[in-house]
Amino acid sequence: MAIYHLRHYFLASEDATIAYLAIWRAHVASLGALDIATEGFFTVAENACEVVALLRFTEGTDPGQAIRAYMASPGFAQVMAGFDMSQIRRVEVQTLSPGAGSPLG
């Protein structure tokens, strides 16, 4: 069964949020190259400086190790080029496992 990460990114400003959403469009392909599926990325109506992404990892994958490998990859460096990482104030991650009968299971 797949494992999911619900990743919350808290940005410094609305402009940084807009820029980071553009980066997420590019992350979809570069994450996919490492067998990490992006199920979606979202803005949060209650917080204009937050981006949420839902990632799927194949069964048997260590999500933490997979993300570390991605962040060390040339694809990540290329996607993040020119973005000031200090604009990401914090990241919160929840690991999710689908319940029995879940459409995402």
State pTM to two decimals.
0.92
pLDDT tens, position by position, 13-48: 999 999 999 999 999 999 999 999 999 999 999 999
Using alpha carbons, list the distances in angstroms from residue 102 to 1, 17, 87, 96, 98. 11, 31, 35, 12, 6
Q: Where exactly are the structural domains of the chain?
A: 3-83
- Token pair belonging to 30: 């570069």
**17 vs 9: CA distance, rounded Å:** 9
Task: Please say if the pLDDT value at position 83 is more than 90.
Answer: yes
- Scan for tokens 């990632």, then name that residue: 55
The CATH-assigned architecture of domain 3-83 is 2-Layer Sandwich (3.30)
